[in-house]
A and B are shown apart, each in its own frame.
Chain A
Amino acid sequence: MMSKNNNQETVRRFSKPVIVAHWLNAFAFFALLLTALPMYTDFFNWLYPVFGGPANARLLHRIFAIMFILPTIFMILVDPKSFFHWIKQIISWKKHDFQFFAPFAKDFIGKHADVPKQDFYNAGEKLNSIVQILTTIMLIGSGIVMWGPDNFPKGLVLWAYPIHNIGVGLAATLVVGHIYLSIGHPKSKASLRGMIKGDVSLEYAKEHHGRWYDELIQQEVVQGKKGKKSKAPSNSGKNLGV
C-alpha cells in the first residue's frame, strides 16, 4: 500500500509477520549473544550477576534459543508467501548480483559508486541472508547437541563446540555490518523504516532496488515516481537476513 510520508510516496516492502519475525529474531540473537558472552570471553564476566548467575544465564540462553528458532516456524505457518519469496530471492543469483560488490565496497566507506540495479533484495542482502541462514543452522544444530550431549555420540558432541563457536563468530560479524548498514550508514539507513513501518519511499525503492521498482511499475502497483496510491505488491517478502 502506498502512502504519503513527509510528502513522499511510499510503497509497502515488508508484511507485519516479517517485521514481527525480524525483530523477534533480532532480539533473540542479542539476548543469546549477551547471555553467552561471559563464556566467550572473561571480559564480560560481569554479565553473570546481571542474569542472576551462570546457571540462570544458561537457562535464559536456552529460553532465547527457542525464541531464536520460533520466527522461522512462525513465518512458515503465518506468512509462507513472504518466507518463500525471500528464499527464492536469495538463491537467485544473476549478473547484476555479482556486479554489486565491487562498487558496494566503495559505497560502504562513503565514496561514489555505480551499483547495478538490484532485486527486492540486493546482492549484499542476499549474501547476508545466506550466510546468516548457514550460521543459524550451525548454531541451532550444534546448540541442540550441546543442550543434551548425553543423547549424542561423543564425536558429534565434540564437534558441536567449535561449530557453535565458528557460527557465533560469523553471525556476530555480519550483524555488526548489518546494523551499521541499517542505522550507521547514511544511505542504507532509510531501509530501517521498511523494517519498522513496513513501507519505504518510492525513491528509496527505485534507487536501491531498481529491479523491484521496475516490477512495481510493470505491475502497475505504482505509477512512476509520482504514482497514486495502489495496492501493495503481491510478492512482498520478508527480510530475515538484512
Chain B
Amino acid sequence: MEYIKYIDVTKCDGCRACMVACKNWNDLPAEFEEFHGSYQSHKKTTANTWNVLTFTEHVTADNQFEWLYRHSSCLHCTDAACEKVCPENAISYTEYGSVVINADQCVGCGYCVQNCTFDIIELATKKDENGKEYKVAQKCTLCTDRIAEGLQPACATVCHTDAIMFGEKDKMLKLASERLNQVKERYPNANIYNPPGVGGTHTVYLLAERPSVYDLPENPETSYTAKLWKDVAQPAGKLLLGASVMGVVGAYLSNRLFNKEVDESSLNEGGKDDEQK
C-alpha cells in the first residue's frame, strides 16, 4: 500500500514538535547551529536533523505580511535521484512509497547528497566499535519502521494541528485538493506541491505561496545528469569495456589462429613482420 505524508502548511503553527518527535523516535543527537537571525534553528536538514521547520517572512503582492512555516524533510520522490545514483544500491523504495537508506550497504560516498533534488540528504559521521570514524548517508525514513508496525510517522503523530497527516495516497491527495479550495481565499497563490518531474512525491505539500517562496524548486526534475550517468553512461561504459575485453580476447585467439609462426621469441624482436611489409 502506498502512503504519503500530507503537509498542510496553512495549518502549521510553527511549534516544531515534529522536530523534537523525530529526534526522539530516531534517537538523533542535537546539533547546535549558529544564530541564523530568525526563528529557524537549522539552515537545512542534515544527517542528524531529518526535518527542519523553515520560517519565511513574506510580503505578498497586495502588501499583506505573512509569516510562513514549512516542515522540510525528505520528499520521498517516486523517481528518486538518490536511489538512482547510489553506487551500492543502498537506497531503495519500500512498498509504502518511502525511500530508505540501508546503513549497512551505504559506503558514505555522498553521491546521493550531491544529487538529491531537494538538498535533503547529508552524511553523518559515526564511529565503529574500534572508534574509527566512518560516514553514512542519513535522512528521513518516513518512519518506515513505524509504518511497518501500523503506526504513523512520529512527526505526524505529534502534530497537534493536523498540519502533518499520514495516510493512503489517494485519500491524502483528495484531502489536499479539498483543502486547497478552502484556503484559496486567504492564500490566493496556494498550490499542491507534488512535482511530476520526480514522478510525484510521498511527502506532499499544500503550500500557501509559490514553491520558490519556500525555497523549493518550482519545477524540479530528477536530474538529467543522474539519468545520463546511470541510464546511459554507466551501462554504455560497461558494454564498451566488456566489448573491448571480448575484442582483445578474440584478437588474441585469432592471432593464434592466423599467425601461427609468431612465437615467444617475437617479444624481443618486434615480430617478424612478413605481413606489414
Q: Which residues of A contact B (CB under 8 A)?
A: 5-6, 8, 38-42, 45, 48, 53-55, 57-58, 107-115, 146, 149, 154, 157-159, 161-162, 165-166, 168-170, 172-174, 176-177, 179-180, 184-193, 200-201, 203-204, 207-208
Contact between chains at A165 and B88 (CB < 8 Å) = no
Chain B 227-258 interface mask (CB, 8 Å, partner A; 1/0): 01100111011101101110110111011111
Contact between chains at A190 and B241 (CB < 8 Å) = no
In whole angstroms, how far apart are the Cα atoms of A6 and B268 in the complex?
Answer: 9
Contact check: which of A162, A191, A207 meets B276 at CB < 8 Å?
Answer: A207
Q: What's the A-B contact tally at a CB cutoff of 8 Å?
A: 167
B273: chain A residues within 8 A (beta carbon): 187, 207
The interface residues of chain B, by DSSP majority, are classed as helix
Contact between chains at A161 and B267 (CB < 8 Å) = no
Chain A, Cβ-Cβ closest to B85: A161
Chain A, Cβ-Cβ closest to B113: A149
A6: chain B residues within 8 A (beta carbon): 268
The interface residues of chain A, by DSSP majority, are classed as helix
Tell me if B115 is interfacial: C-beta within 8 Å of chain A. yes
Instruction: Tell me the minimal C-beta distance from B36 to chain A in angstroms.
Output: 19
B186: chain A residues within 8 A (beta carbon): none
Tell me if B219 is interfacial: C-beta within 8 Å of chain A. no
Contact between chains at B228 and A162 (CB < 8 Å) = yes
- 10 tightest A-B contacts by CB? A169-B237, A204-B270, A190-B270, A187-B271, A110-B255, A54-B107, A186-B262, A162-B229, A112-B275, A180-B248
Instruction: Tell me the minimal C-beta distance from A10 to chain B in angstroms.
Output: 10
Question: Given A5-B268, A161-B226, A207-B273, A185–B237 Cβ distance below 8 Å?
Answer: no
